[in-house]
Amino acid sequence: MRLSVLDQSPISEGSTGSQALRNTIDLARAADALGYHRYWVAEHHGGGMLAGPSPEALIGPIAAATARIRVGSGGVMLPHYSPLKVAESFSVLSGLFPQRIDLGIGRASGTDPITTQVLQRDRRQPPPDDFFEQLSELIAYLEDRFPPDHPLRRLAALPGLPESPELWLLGSSPQSAIWAADLGLPYAFADFINSDGGADIARLYRERFADSERLPAPRTAVAVWAIAADTDEEAQRLAYSSRMAMTMLRRGRLIAIPPVETAERFLKAEGLLDRPAGRRLVLGSPDTVRAGLEQVAREYAAEEVIVVGITFDHAARRRSYELIADAFELDMQPSEEESGEILPAWR
């Protein structure tokens, strides 16, 4: 089973978005050294909680600051963009970092309705619900699948050729599973968003999967919320910060990630401290988290688990990924001092 990272670039209370982005680079370098397979960055707009509205802008610096880990989007919210622009941007990245770039595509807005409208070039009316057509056009650019007489065929001469990104479809609903299966794409399911029935949706993807030139058999990854610490109790405490932030998000308020003590007081006052979080959280010591992640992988029949985790303290989040890597005995690489290789600091 492969282990990967999805980083949402959280902004801690009292810190800044700039520091959150630098933390992303720092965590990516750690994940590279620890032996994680891929490092994806998310797309979220219009708030002071997460600092990652532009995966394509982050992927280049991350790839430049790392050596072997795959880097990509988790994901690009295609309804906001021109398929050609997305294809060209990720072709450039693939040309610069061959065999290391992933293009994860999502359908959600990644924000609230007002920000969604503002992101559109034409704000006079809601954008059309034509995601499948957008995705098909994107694939045609990336794979040069336009018919010989198609007027857009010349646009498939992308700048990074012959290199190209590895395309994934992201989702948390049956519809995304159906599209991924019908198009023969690898599928990453967001269990951290929707763990209710997710295994059944992944099964639908596998059962419906159509053998294709791009992928001979279904490939499933599952993104899971997880935090590891030295003890189960400490991991539970570290999770208070994200639990408070998500509670406020559901109430329509975007806040910076609060300190553990602030979040603990809030959850206690709201009667939420000892109640289930409302979604799957894999929290605990390294052994506890390993067992939990392996269980999720079995449920989804997934070849890969993508770990998502937010803490107030960046050092605690980095430590969480270190403990998980150690629990799974990932293939770590030598430190810069041991290898003699100096990578850009990006700090």
Residue-wise pLDDT tens digits, 250-308: 898 999 999 999 999 999 999 999 888 778 999 999 999 999 999 999 999 999 999 99
Q: Which two tokens stand for residue 202?
A: 């992944």
- Who contacts 300 (Cβ-Cβ below 8 Å, separation ≥6)? 189, 191, 198, 199, 202, 220, 222
Q: Residue 107 and residue 216: Cα distance in Å, rounded?
A: 24
Give Cα 14 distance to the centre of its chain. 25
pTM reported for the whole predicted model? 0.92
Phi and psi angles of residue 168, each rounded to the nearest 5 degrees, phi first: -125, 145
Confidence at residue 125, expressed as pLDDT on a 0 to 100 scale = 80
Task: With CA atoms as reference, report the closest residue to 184 among 205, 159, 198, 160.
Answer: 205
| C-beta atoms surrounding 232 within 10 Å | 15
> Which tens digits make up the pLDDT trace of 163-191?
999 999 999 999 999 999 999 999 999 99
Q: Kindly state the greatest CA–CA separation across the chain.
A: 66
Q: Residue 339: what pLDDT?
A: 47
Query: Looking at the chain, how many residues does it have?
Result: 347
Fold classification of 2-338 (topology level): TIM Barrel (3.20.20)
Question: How far is Cα 159 from Cα 141, in angstroms, rounded to an integer?
Answer: 11
Contact assessment for residue 167 and residue 195, using Cβ atoms and an 8 Å cutoff: no
Tally of CB atoms within 10 A around 51:
24
For residue 80, the tally of other CB atoms under 10 A from its CB is 17
pLDDT value for 347: 29
Q: What is the pLDDT of residue 245?
A: 95
Look at residue 177 in the predicted model and tell me its pLDDT. 97
- The strand pairing partners of 170, in sequence order, are 188
CA 90 – CA 57 distance, rounded (Å): 10
Boundaries of every domain in the chain: 2-338
Strand partners, 129: none
pLDDT of residue 120: 81
pLDDT at 256: 97
Concatenated DSSP letters for 163-225? --PEEEEEESSHHHHHHHHHHT--EEEETTT--SSHHHHHHHHHHHPPP-SS-SS--EEEEEE
Cβ 26 vs Cβ 314: under 8 Å: yes
Token pair in block for residue 274: 């000892």
Closest CA to 165 of 70, 248, 232: 70
Cis preceding-peptide flag for 162 (omega within 30 of 0): yes
- Supply the pLDDT for residue 337: 41
User: What's the pLDDT at 192?
Assistant: 95
- Listed as ranges, residues in the chain with pLDDT below 70 are 110, 334-347
> Distance between CA 106 and CA 40 in Å, rounded?
13
Q: What is the pLDDT of residue 334?
A: 62
- Give the 3-state secondary structure percentages of the chain, helix then strand then coil, rounded to 5: 45, 15, 40
243 residue type, one letter:
R
Whether a cis peptide bond, with omega within 30° of 0, leads into 218 is no
Torsion of CA 227, 233, 237, 243, to 10 degrees: 60
